[in-house]
Homo-oligomer: A and B are copies of this chain.
Amino acid sequence: MKELEDKILEKGQVLNHDVLKVDSFLNHQVDSQLMYKIGQNFYEYFKAQPITKILTVESSGIAPAVMTGLFFQVPVVFARKHRSVTMNSDIFVADVYSFTKKVNNKISISKNFLQSSDNVLIVDDFLANGQAIAGLTDIINQAEATLYGIGIVIEKTFQKGRQMVEQQQIPIKSLARIAGFQNGQVIFAEE
């Protein structure tokens, strides 16, 4: 997605070997117009699928997911993050390890909002090591729902998330794919 790549080049900050900071338009300050076009792009890519629900994780996934839900006209559910969570028969729970923050978090989704009849599209802001995707996939399996695809705003192709997703043969669309960083500059992957 050209407009997203341009925005990353213009506003993204490369912090070290593998961290890209995009909090001026995605993670803290949000560009709603861009999110709208991101939602439209995911819709164009996955619209042939019988999607009934969009899943994401709070907080940075919410904006692109809600815009995607607007185009699909289906509900969006954001998983909640917890440091710890007590056993509770009303929620699905999965583990998510954060490599950037080096903490193990739990994510949860109420059983009221994910049924075995649901056909799910996951939307998330980043794909790096794939931990959030693995946690959401775990919850989808617990619910016996069906995962139809994954829409990622920014993928870092040099980390292990892409490989994990491909092994599971889940259709994935990343709107920007970053192959690496060179002298503080973002290098995009070839299509």
Query: A24 — which chain B residues lie within 8 A by C-beta?
Result: 112-113
Report yes or no: B66 in contact with A28, Cβ–Cβ below 8 A.
no
Q: Please measure, in the bound complex, the distance between the C-alpha atom of A62 and the C-alpha atom of B32, giving whole angstroms.
A: 11
Q: Which of A44-52, A67-75, A128-136, A180-188 contacts the other chain?
A: A67-75
Query: A78 — which chain B residues lie within 8 A by C-beta?
Result: 28, 30, 59
Report yes or no: A29 in contact with B113, Cβ–Cβ below 8 A.
yes
- A residues 117-149 touching B (CB-CB < 8 Å): none
Report yes or no: B30 in contact with A76, Cβ–Cβ below 8 A.
yes
Interface residues of A (CB under 8 A from B): 23-25, 28-33, 35-36, 58-59, 62-63, 66-67, 69-70, 73, 75-78, 80, 109-110, 112-113
Q: Please measure, in the bound complex, the distance between the C-alpha atom of A119 and the C-alpha atom of B75, giving whole angstroms.
A: 32
Q: Do A76 and B110 contact each other (CB < 8 Å), given the known contacts A62-B63, A67-B66? A: no
Q: Please measure, in the bound complex, the distance between the C-alpha atom of A32 and the C-alpha atom of B76, giving whole angstroms.
A: 7
Q: Do A29 and B75 contact each other (CB < 8 Å), given the known contacts A24-B113, A112-B24? A: yes
Report yes or no: A28 in contact with B59, Cβ–Cβ below 8 A.
no
Q: Do A73 and B33 contact each other (CB < 8 Å), given the known contacts A28-B113, A78-B28? A: yes
Q: Please measure, in the bound complex, the distance between the C-alpha atom of A67 and the C-alpha atom of B32, giving whole angstroms.
A: 7
- Looking at A23, A25, A66, A67, which has the most chain B CB atoms within 10 Å of its CB? A66
Q: Please measure, in the bound complex, the distance between the C-alpha atom of A24 and the C-alpha atom of B29, giving whole angstroms.
A: 26
Query: A58 — which chain B residues lie within 8 A by C-beta?
Result: 58-59
Q: Please measure, in the bound complex, the distance between the C-alpha atom of A25 and the C-alpha atom of B24, giving whole angstroms.
A: 28
Report yes or no: B66 in contact with A29, Cβ–Cβ below 8 A.
no
Report yes or no: A77 in contact with B28, Cβ–Cβ below 8 A.
yes
Report yes or no: A66 in contact with B35, Cβ–Cβ below 8 A.
yes
Report yes or no: B76 in contact with A29, Cβ–Cβ below 8 A.
yes
Nearest Cβ distance between residue A36 and chain B, in whole angstroms?
A: 6
Nearest Cβ distance between residue A153 and chain B, in whole angstroms?
A: 14
